[in-house]
Amino acid sequence: MPRFDRLLLVILLSTAPSLLRAAEGEPSIKCDIRPDPGDVVLKGKDVIIEAGRTVKDAVAIGGNVIIRKGAKVHSAVAIDGSVTVESGALVEESALAVHGKVHVMQGGTVKGSRAWIEKGLHIIGTEGKRIDLDLAVNGESVSQLAIAAILEDMHACRVGTTEAAK
């Protein structure tokens, strides 16, 4: 399966439980995030990866991910924030933003897909193909329901010890 299709499948599958809980009025599942070595995961703060630094995954919950010129990350994810890839910065795989956008400055590189959920689901695949999608159920935007459910779940998460963003 092409990387573009896998990313879409992961997004849809990962939001399904939150959407069902929101639709049924059930309380959210609380979570405990334990980053792997080499990851930078922060809650309530921006994750800034400075020049010359290599990081496995850069994740911000309630903040932005900013990858500076000369920095390299495997993947970048912002929940309730945006991902910015500055000129000369590299994301080796995918960049994802929920309730934000993915900004790639001229000269910045994202080798994989770019996706964001903000007034719809937006994906730019590895070949540059773009898909913009929003569905409505009973007059309500599915993307807005997904954002609300994901934010509720993620803001309730506890983040374990992580390497500080330098």
Mean pLDDT of 12-16: 53
Report the SS3 class of residue 93.
Answer: coil
Is the predicted pLDDT of residue 78 greater than 50, yes or no? yes
Q: Cα separation of 100 and 116, whole Å?
A: 7
CA-based nearest residue to 96, from 159, 158, 3: 3
One-letter amino acid at 125 equals G
Contact 62, 155 (CB under 8 A): yes
Is the predicted pLDDT of residue 120 greater than 60, yes or no? yes
Position 161 scores a pLDDT of 60
Better pLDDT: 45 or 162: 45
pLDDT tens by residue, 15-73: 555 555 555 555 454 667 777 888 999 989 999 999 999 999 999 989 999 999 999 99
Prediction pTM value = 0.75
Report the SS3 class of residue 18.
Answer: helix
Dihedral in degrees, nearest 10, Cα atoms 36, 37, 39, 42: 80
Q: What percent of the chain lies above the pLDDT cut of 90?
A: 37
Q: Cα separation of 70 and 62, whole Å?
A: 25
Domains of the chain by residue range: 3-159
pLDDT tens by residue, 147-160: 777 777 776 677 77
Is the predicted pLDDT of residue 9 greater than 70, yes or no? no
Better pLDDT: 50 or 131: 50
